[in-house]
């Protein structure tokens, strides 16, 4: 599948909240690859963690599956009898996800659900849940309930893999980290106009927590082991084991 160049915010436009519509879905793979530091390495590390936790004959859920990048990479390395389910609230993103799997001679059972995370019901034999750059788009009032529900449904020793954009407890360092992040986006070809317009569009949609807050939510949900496996300035990956 050809990766289309992201130019969603390249031209001056009226301010509006960011949404995962057809326009974004068409360029999302390029957008996330240029906007998330070490995105491919995060995907590789997610694969390693999922391989360790996935139980043959169990289920894996990718919540906020977007265009299916994570599911596609996991499809190459996980046992064929692990059933995949991709969940997203955007029909346009799910359509791209389906297209990817239609082009793969996988043979794996794969389901796609257009649902809000608060509505997701996991089978009792779910061994892996991935939440990559997803929870930060869930309204804060619902996040604890979502994590608690996932914990209750996961099989014993099941893993939840969480990657989030985060804020720092120290305001000065938080400003520095954001500055370094925008420098990275410039290195990846984004203009100041694109950076500023996307920031404004995400302001009321993407609400990040701190690493400490995300860890505490996972512990409060019941997870017995929580560790950071990735950190780059204002991005953090955690794995939580039931």
Q: Which of 88, 102, 85, 101 shows the shortest CA–CA distance to 20? A: 88
Would you tell me how many other CB atoms lie within 10 Å of the CB of residue 155?
18
Integer angstrom CA distances of residue 7 from 27, 49, 69, 191: 8, 33, 20, 10
The pLDDT value given to residue 2: 63
In tens, the pLDDT along 5-56 reads 999 999 998 878 999 999 999 999 999 999 999 999 999 999 999 999 999 9
**Which segment of 13-17, 63-67, 113-117 scores lowest on mean pLDDT?**
13-17
- CATH for 22-168+206-241 is 3.40.50.150
pLDDT tens-digit series, residues 68-83: 999 999 999 999 999 9
Per domain, the residue ranges of the chain are 22-168+206-241
Task: Say which residue the tokens 């990956």 belong to.
Answer: 237
The per-residue pLDDT for range 189-216, each reduced to its tens digit, is 999 999 999 999 999 999 999 999 999 9
Contacts for 14 with CB less than 8 Å, ≥ 6 apart: none
């Amino acid at each position: 599948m050809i990766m289309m160049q992201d130019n969603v915010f390249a031209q001056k436009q009226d301010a509006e909240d960011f949404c995962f519509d057809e326009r974004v879905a068409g360029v999302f793979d390029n957008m996330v690859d240029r906007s998330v530091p070490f995105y491919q390495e995060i995907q590789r590390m997610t694969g390693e963690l999922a391989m360790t936790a996935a139980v043959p004959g169990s289920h894996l859920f990718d919540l906020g599956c977007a265009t299916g990048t994570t599911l596609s990479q996991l499809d190459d390395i996980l046992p064929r009898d692990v059933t995949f389910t991709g969940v997203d609230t955007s029909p346009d993103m799910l359509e791209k996800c389906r297209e990817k799997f239609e082009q793969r001679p996988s043979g794996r059972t794969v389901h796609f659900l257009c649902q809000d995370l608060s509505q997701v019901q996991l089978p009792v034999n779910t061994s892996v849940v991935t939440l990559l750059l997803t929870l930060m788009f869930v309204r804060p009032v619902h996040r604890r309930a979502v994590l608690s529900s996932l914990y209750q449904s996961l099989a014993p020793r099941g893993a939840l893999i969480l990657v989030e954009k985060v804020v720092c407890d120290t305001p000065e360092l938080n400003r520095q980290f954001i500055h370094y992040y925008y420098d990275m986006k410039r290195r990846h070809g984004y203009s100041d106009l694109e950076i500023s317009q996307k920031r404004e569009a995400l302001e009321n949609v993407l609400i990040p927590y701190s690493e400490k807050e995300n860890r505490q939510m996972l512990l409060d949900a019941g997870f017995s082991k929580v560790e950071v496996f990735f950190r780059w300035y204002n991005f953090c990956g955690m794995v939580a084991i039931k």
